[in-house]
Each structure stands twice: as C-alpha cells, then as structure tokens.
Structure 1
Amino acid sequence: MEAKLYNQAGQAIGTLELQDYIFGIEPNIPVMHQAVIRQLANARLGTHSTKTRGEVRGSTRKLYRQKGTGRARQGAIRAPHHSGGGVVHGPKPRKYTKAMPRKMRRLAVRSALSAKYAENQIIFLDDLSLNAPKTKDFLALLKNLPLVGDKTLVALGEKSDNITLSASNLPNVKTLLAAYLNVRDLLTYDTLILPKSALSVVETILGKK
C-alpha cells in the first residue's frame, strides 16, 4: 500500500510504501479498548488514603456511662459516626496496574494506526526539522499541511529540542517519540504527523519480525 509523502511546505513530493501489517489491518476494537483501559489504570497513582477509627487522634475513653442518662449509648469519640471520627471502608493506598501481553499491546497500536490511515488522518513527511525553537515557525509549518481536526500529534524518530520546545506552547499539539506511540494518544488526537525517521522506528517495533 502507498501513501502521499509531503515536505514541510505542504507539497506532495512522491509516494511512500507502507506495510499492510501495520497500516492495513482490520482494527481490533476490543483490544484497543482494553489497551486504553490499561493505560488509564496504570496512570493512576493510587495514593488516596483515609484513616480508620484506630488511626485518628482522640481518646478511647467512654464518653459517658452506659445507662441512666436517657441518651443513646456511646463508646469512643473516634467512632465513625462522630465528627472527626474514623472512616468506614475508606480508600487505602493500592496499585491499579493492569497487565496486557506484548502482542496484544502491539496489535492495539497497529489497529489504531490502521484506523487513522483509513480515515486519512496520518500525514507522512519527508523530514521534520527547525533551525531554532520558535513556535511561530512551527505553527506556519502546521498550516502548510492538510491537517484533519484541531488536535495534532507529532511523532519524532529521535529527540529534537527545537521541535519539542516549539510545540510546547500550542495547547492542541503534542510531540511524542515514535517508540512511545500509544492507543490513547492516537485516539485522542485528530491528525498524526509521521516523518520518515519516525516511520522507520514504528516499522522496526511493530513490523513483522
């Protein structure tokens, strides 16, 4: 399968041969959903915590005698029904991490890439570079390209401070190393910009071994 290859001026300068194994499969929706759930779960810190009646401060003295006062019987002031008392069945620190086989994780990313390619939401660039970190220049570069929607994900083959710093002030643009492409970002952003250097990384990781 082939795709148009653009330069930074937005001109189509040729075609690019793509692997059907990565960009031409039938998207596996359940696996993509599982990958997103796993990613969201793994992003949770799990540091939430409440104190039980044995952990809050306060005396364990019985508030008043059991009988003869005409009031309901009470124990310690740290009981859950008292203001400032312990919390019953409250959250405690825990891990939310979920496991997922590597083959399924890669299938999920390939499914997301195939879905975006089918919707013409991937722009393949011959090269992506800037001489200096300047948001104005990067914004002009984006305006030259046939973007879809408002949110853009830029995959980089290798670290580039000029590109990363230039895009950091744009709220609807995110830069990401191609090795860290994930289903959540692919589904969140409307357009994926994929330079040839980043495509090479994607094919190395997700291609047939």
Structure 2
Amino acid sequence: MASLKVYSLENQEVGTVDLHDDLAQATLNPFIVKDTVVSYLNGLRQGTHKTKERSEVTGSRRKLFRQKGTGNARAGSAQSPVRRHGATVFGPTPRSYKTDINKKVKKKALASVLSEKLKNGQLLIVDNLKLEDHKTKKFLAWMETMNLKKTLFVSSEQDSNFELASRNVTFVKSVHASGLNVYDVLNHTNLVMTKQSLMDVEGRLLK
C-alpha cells in the first residue's frame, strides 16, 4: 500500500489515503495505452459522412445530347460522375468507427497512466472540490497559488459553485470518477482528484 497525502483547498495537509500497489506501481505499457486512446477517439467519431451516388443526384436522367454527329465526347445523363455536379464514385458512406478493446486492457492502461502522474508529482489529492464562491477570477487565482496548469479535476459528487467557476476556463476539465479515461488523463498536465473519487476509481480498477 502507498500512502498519499490529502490536502485541503487551502493547500494544508489534512490526512492521508492508502492506494493499492497494483495502482500506485503499475508499469506503463505504451502499446496498450495507445490502443486505448485510439479506441476512445474512434468512439467520439460520428461517422455521418455521406456523398451522393448516381441514383441520388437530382435532375433529369435524359441523355444530354445524341451519341454521334456533335463532335463532342459521348455522354449520358448529367448525374454521371465525370461531370461537374455529378455523382461521386466510391464516396464515404455512414459507418461506425467504434473499435472494441478488452476491459482488462483498458483498466491496465488507466492504472498505468495514473501511476505515471503519481510518479511525476502531477497528481494532487484533495479532501473535496467545494468552493465558497462561483467566481471564475477567484478560481483562477486559487489555481495559480496551487501551481496548476492544464488540469483535469475528478470528483464523485458535483458542486455547483465549482462547475460555474471552471466551465469557461479552456485549460480545465471536470469529470465524474465514473467517466475518468486514459485520454483525458494524458491530455492534461495536472490531475486533481478528491479522496472519494480516488477510492472509487481504485475500486473500479481492482474489481
């Protein structure tokens, strides 16, 4: 078991929390991390791209001019793919980009990136994320005193003041513990978790 310090929002040490060694000392495997991130990003793709085929282009199907005698190259209807505003051949069609990944692999990838944040001193555990004020200016001043840059906040319970204060800050993202994923952890320099959210994530990964 690794013992991690828990801080208040005033940056005062208020206790400790134990973290299982399987999570605290997880070995980083770049291959499964990459596969997990690609799977997550593929899941975000809507896949609604579509071009019109020959039968879907509007307009008359009449032959544009007679086959012989005009001196022009022979032509069919205006929907022909070779003509301007015509159809598209082998164009994109709606599809799902979802790629499945083993649950154990996904858990191992998340455990390893959390372990890396811990080893690099980029993981901060706080007792809660409840703010007294919803002012963004005060929230940014607090982040500066805590020396936080691009930060991912993880909590198990929602605080309206925190959501209001942080929602317009482009370099801050707030997620529920159940929605924590590898991509968000890697995409942020700092990771701030409440004590309860860390315990919830630990329980999910070790189950």
Normalization by structure 2: what TM-score? 0.93
In structure 2, the residue matched to 1:157 is 156
Moved more, 185-194 or 137-146: 137-146
In structure 2, the residue matched to 1:12 is 13
In structure 1, the residue matched to 2:197 is 198
Percent same amino acid among aligned pairs?
39
Give the Å deviation of 1:128. 2.2
The one-letter code matched in structure 2 to 1:152 is T
> Aligned partners of 1:161, 1:49: CA distance in 2, in Å?
41
What aligned pairs does 1:23-172 form with structure 2 within 5 A after superposition? 23-147=24-148, 150-172=149-171
| Offset from partner CA, 1:3-39 (integer Å, 9 cap, x none) | 3322211133444322111121111211110111011
- Find the residue that maps to 2:88 and give its secondary structure: coil
Give the Å deviation of 1:68. 1.9
Moved more, 190-199 or 161-170: 161-170
> Aligned partners of 2:84, 2:108: CA distance in 1, in Å?
52
- Find the residue that maps to 1:54 and give its secondary structure: helix
- Count of residue pairs brought into register by the alignment: 206
> Aligned partners of 2:53, 2:81: CA distance in 1, in Å?
8
Q: 1:93 to 1:44 in 2, by over 3 A?
A: same
- Find the residue that maps to 1:42 and give its secondary structure: helix
> Aligned partners of 1:133, 1:205: CA distance in 2, in Å?
31
In structure 2, the residue matched to 1:187 is 186
The answer to whether the Cα contact below 8 Å between 1:157 and 1:200 also exists between their aligned partners in 2 is no
Give the Å deviation of 1:62. 1.2
> Aligned partners of 2:144, 2:194: CA distance in 1, in Å?
16
Give the Å deviation of 1:126. 2.3
> Aligned partners of 1:80, 1:34: CA distance in 2, in Å?
38
| Offset from partner CA, 1:74-96 (integer Å, 9 cap, x none) | 11111011111101111111111
> Aligned partners of 1:77, 1:126: CA distance in 2, in Å?
68
> Aligned partners of 2:28, 2:192: CA distance in 1, in Å?
20
> Aligned partners of 2:163, 2:196: CA distance in 1, in Å?
16
Normalization by structure 1: what TM-score? 0.92
| Offset from partner CA, 1:130-173 (integer Å, 9 cap, x none) | 134222332233233243xx200000111222211111121111
Structure 1 stretches of 5 or more lacking a match?
none
The one-letter code matched in structure 2 to 1:69 is T
- Find the residue that maps to 1:103 and give its secondary structure: helix
> Aligned partners of 1:60, 1:88: CA distance in 2, in Å?
17
> Aligned partners of 2:16, 2:48: CA distance in 1, in Å?
50
> Aligned partners of 1:194, 1:97: CA distance in 2, in Å?
29
> Aligned partners of 1:202, 1:70: CA distance in 2, in Å?
74
The one-letter code matched in structure 2 to 1:31 is I
The answer to whether the Cα contact below 8 Å between 2:134 and 2:161 also exists between their aligned partners in 1 is yes
Structure 2 stretches of 5 or more lacking a match?
none
Q: CA RMSD in A?
A: 1.5
- Find the residue that maps to 2:117 and give its secondary structure: helix
